[in-house]
Amino acid sequence: MRCEIIAVGTELLLGQITNTNARDIARELSSLGIGVYYQTVVGDNEKRLMEVFNEALKRADLIILTGGLGPTDDDLTRETVAGVLELPLEKNEIWEQKLREFFSRFKRPMSAINLRQAMVPRGGKILLNDRGTAPGIFLEERDKVIILLPGPPRELLPMFKEQVIPLLREKLREKENLAVLQSKVLRIIGLGESAMAEMISSLLENQSNPTIAPLAKGAEVHLRLTARGSSGAETESLLASKAEEIKKVLGDYIYGEDEEELEFAVARLLWEQGKTIALAESCSGGLLCHRLTNIPDSSRYLLAGLVTYSNEAKINILGVDPAVIAVKGAVSAKVAEMMAAGVRRLCRADIGVGITGVAGPGGGTPQKPVGLTYIALEAENLKLVQRYEYWGSRLDIKERASQAALHLLRLYLLKKLKKAE
């Protein structure tokens, strides 16, 4: 079953409201094996909505429209759908009574315009709304299933889960087309998208079920595996089997699955090995510490995180040699190394990390451009400093620096730091 979601509302086009409804609906539909092939956003304009709806009728079996079911003149979804389908609007006595009870309960007068919300295209089934005045509508016409839902997410999502999903499940069961669509994401660090794609080229070329889709995500690459089956157990088995194939090729470049962030992967290794860490950050402004403390129970491994932003703080707190700063500058490999050593010594940690760089947008020179960053790691029998050059905004550079530091930590804990050199 091909689905198209049409979100109606000029406020969505203007960026005043984020269209979370399409995301939530698509996630729920995947549990039934229904694929969303198109998502469209259209303003509160009858002509344009007619064009979009007519196009959806040509290419989708299931059309879900959100928004535009209110009582005012710019709420056009109900009337437009009925007009395109050449169906008269008929008063639903049950919903009219619900509206009267709603306004009476809150001791508010009901305007005549509110009665528009009790009008339903002939043959449509009312979807009850306990959280607002606009009901949903479930309609089967021209061998299509057409669903109209109110725009506010707090009204839409419960209605969709509690009423729409059961109706769609029953339709699919009648057609013996009930399936499950399920996805798994593999998270990859230390490889670019093209290099990763080359390594698994045979799997990408010969994919069927599950499908494999590479996605660039900042400093990471994600692989989304999507399987279709007759049951959750079948799709889980397909996903697990394909994930194992990929892991045999990519190995430790894969650090986690689904929602697992890199900081959690590092935290898990620190827990397992019983190691402690202390951080000295300059250009990253404490972002590495922030990410590591997002993990519950982070006190088991994180002893301290110091933002030694000024030269004086580097000298007075961490013991960085002022002569080194004078000769090499605060943004240098030697200063990063001394920051890592100083915080490790100060906190008596197993691992010390030092980060220094030029976050921009000003402060760069031809010799030390914006984005130049040094990250140092010191542990027992190990001293390592890496040089990086990043691009982007100040926040981009801070995020990339924290990501690189976590990557170094993970490689050290896996005893595979040579891969980062």
Domain spans, the chain: 2-174, 180-257, 262-420
**Alpha carbons within 13 A on the beta-carbon side of 249:** 17
State the pLDDT at residue 420: 41
State the pLDDT at residue 105: 84
- Whether the per-residue pLDDT at 168 is higher than 70: the answer is yes
Instruction: Name the band, by pLDDT with cuts 50, 70 and 90, for residue 179.
Output: confident
CATH 3.40.980.10 for domain 2-174, yes or no, is yes
State the pLDDT at residue 230: 82
Write out pLDDT tens, residues 374-421.
Answer: 999 999 989 999 999 999 999 999 999 999 999 999 999 999 885 444
Q: Which CATH number fits domain 180-257: 3.30.930.10, 3.40.190.10, 3.30.70.2860, 3.90.320.10?
A: 3.30.70.2860
Write out pLDDT tens, residues 222-239.
Answer: 999 999 888 889 999 999
Mean pLDDT of 177-201: 90
Write out pLDDT tens, residues 306-351.
Answer: 999 999 999 999 999 999 999 999 999 999 999 999 999 999 999 9
CB atoms near residue 103 (< 10 Å): 14
State the pLDDT at residue 109: 85
**Would you call 120 exposed, middle or buried from its count of C-beta atoms within 10 A (0-12, 13-18, 19+)?**
buried
Report the distance separating Cα 41 and Cα 46, nearest Å.
13
Residues contacting residue 188 through CB under 8 Å, at least 6 positions apart: 196, 220, 221, 222, 223, 250, 253, 254, 255
Mean pLDDT of 39-55: 97
State the pLDDT at residue 217: 85
- Whether the per-residue pLDDT at 33 is higher than 90: the answer is no
Mean pLDDT of 202-224: 92
Instruction: Name the band, by pLDDT with cuts 50, 70 and 90, for residue 112.
Output: confident
Instruction: Name the band, by pLDDT with cuts 50, 70 and 90, for residue 158.
Output: very high
- Whether the per-residue pLDDT at 304 is higher than 60: the answer is yes
Nearest to 168 by CA among 58, 36, 56: 36
State the pLDDT at residue 400: 94
Strands 180-189 and 144-149 turn out to be: unpaired
State the pLDDT at residue 365: 93
State the pLDDT at residue 366: 93
* 109-113, 263-267, 292-296: least confident range: 109-113
Supply the mean pLDDT for the chain: 94
Domains 2-174 and 180-257 share a fold: no
- Whether the per-residue pLDDT at 293 is higher than 90: the answer is yes
Residue with tokens 């008596």: 348
Report the distance separating Cα 344 and Cα 341, nearest Å.
5
325-348 exposure pattern, b = at least 16 Cβ within 10 A, e = fewer: beeebbbbebbbbbbbbbbbebbe
Mean pLDDT of 113-135: 94
- Whether the per-residue pLDDT at 163 is higher than 70: the answer is yes
Instruction: Just give the CATH number of 262-420.
Output: 3.90.950.20
